[in-house]
Structure formats: C-alpha cells, structure tokens
C-alpha cells in the first residue's frame, strides 16, 4: 500500500510573528520540514500564495495537518468551501491537531462524516465570530484612545515661530505658496493644511 504523504499548513497574521508553536506541533506529529507551508497574512480569505501552492500538491494519497481550525481560515463560508475542496475534490484527508474529532482519516462511515461536518460547522462559525470580535475590539480600542486624546498617524509638525509672518506675506501675495512652504520647511500640502486649521 502506498504511504500517505504528510503536509502541514501554518498561518500567522503579520501582527503575531511567533509561528514556533504551530511548527513544533506539525514536526512532532511527523510532518517533514520541507512539506510545511506557511502564509503570513490574515485568515479572512484564502487568497494566500503558500496555501495555493499546497492545494496543488494535495491528492487522494495526502494528509493535511493544521494546528487549529482558525489557522486554516476565519471566514465561515470560505472555510467550509475549502474543507469541501480538500476532502471531496482533492480527496485528501485533513487532521486538525487541537480537535481530534476533526480527523477525516477516521470515521469514514456516515456517523463519522456527520460528526466531522457538524464539528467543522461549529468551529468555523466560532472562528469567524472571533475574527469579527477582534475587529470590533480594535475599533472600540481606537475610539477609546481617540477620546483620551491619543493621536494616530504621523506626529504633527509644530508650526514654525515665524509662521504668522510667512502666512501674512503669502496672503499679501509677496511670496508664492511654494516659497511659503519652503520657508516653513514643509510640503505645500502641509502649509495649506496649517492655513486651513488656523482659519477654522
């Protein structure tokens, strides 16, 4: 009997750079190092280069290992669709290390398949909800910080001490806006913004 090929998939968002836990879990289970694919991006969709490369490798004789379902994806509909593509179209098996019920190698009977599908539905729903909650918490955190007076973006340049004189010369058309900006040591857009802010 032909030996099954083992593949591993890892995903980390760009914010959480630590992928060691996922890699160690895959290596411990016996996935060869050169058959582990990793993307560093959000789990909101499956438009990921390494995932696409991995998908091309999978066939009826492959087993794909992931540490947890949210590493595969966080979008409920897409996650269920990719699960179908891997198991039904590619005819590969999937094993979710953190959730033994999600192991398509066992329970190929009706009950096993039903249980696996049911657990997947619940977990992918939870994964998407968590993604929404993270976005909501970020939004609330930003809003709370704004209310506390925290400024986002690049720090504002302070107005030069002689700004009022430069501005007066510009208003009197003694100098152009380009010259005024140069005297203030800023871009013309910044000079215009300063003038606008003073006028408000």
Q: What digits encode the pLDDT tens for the residues 102-149?
A: 888 876 554 445 556 666 666 666 666 666 766 777 777 777 777 777
| 3-class secondary structure, 95 | strand
pLDDT tens digit string along 173-199? 889 889 988 988 888 888 888 877 765
State the sign of the Cα–Cα–Cα–Cα dihedral 59, 123, 133, 18: negative
Residue 178 has a CB neighbour count (10 Å cut-off) of 12
Of 11-20, 145-154, 176-185, which has the strongest mean pLDDT? 176-185
What are the beta bridge partners of residue 36?
8
Whether the CB-CB separation of 57 and 30 falls below 8 Å is answered with no
Whole-structure pTM value: 0.58
Residue 33 pLDDT exceeds 80? yes
What's the distance, Cα to Cα, between the start and end of the chain in Å? 79
Instruction: Please name the residues in contact with 195: beta carbons below 8 A apart, sequence gap of 6 or more.
Output: 167, 170
Percent of the chain having pLDDT more than 70?
78
Instruction: Please name the residues in contact with 187: beta carbons below 8 A apart, sequence gap of 6 or more.
Output: 181
| 116 given a catalytic annotation | no
Q: Which one from 13, 68, 116, 176 is the annotated catalytic residue? A: 13
């Amino acid at each position: 009997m032909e030996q099954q090929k083992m593949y591993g998939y890892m995903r980390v968002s760009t914010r959480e750079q630590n992928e060691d836990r996922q890699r160690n879990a895959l290596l411990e289970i016996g996935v060869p190092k050169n058959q582990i694919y990793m993307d560093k991006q959000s789990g909101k969709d499956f438009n990921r280069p390494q995932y696409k490369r991995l998908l091309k490798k999978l066939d009826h004789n492959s087993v794909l290992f992931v540490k947890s379902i949210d590493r595969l994806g966080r979008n409920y509909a897409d996650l269920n669709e990719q699960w179908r593509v891997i198991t039904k179209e590619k005819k590969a098996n999937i094993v979710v290390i953190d959730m033994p019920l999600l192991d398509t190698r066992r329970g190929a009977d009706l009950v096993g398949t039903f249980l696996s599908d049911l657990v997947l539905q619940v977990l992918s729903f939870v994964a998407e909800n968590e993604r929404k909650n993270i976005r909501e918490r970020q939004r609330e955190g930003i809003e709370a910080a704004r209310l506390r007076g925290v400024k986002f973006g690049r720090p504002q340049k302070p107005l030069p001490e002689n700004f009022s004189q430069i501005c007066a010369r510009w208003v009197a058309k003694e100098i152009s806006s380009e010259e005024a900006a140069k005297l203030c040591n800023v871009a013309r857009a910044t000079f215009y913004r300063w003038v606008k802010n003073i006028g408000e």
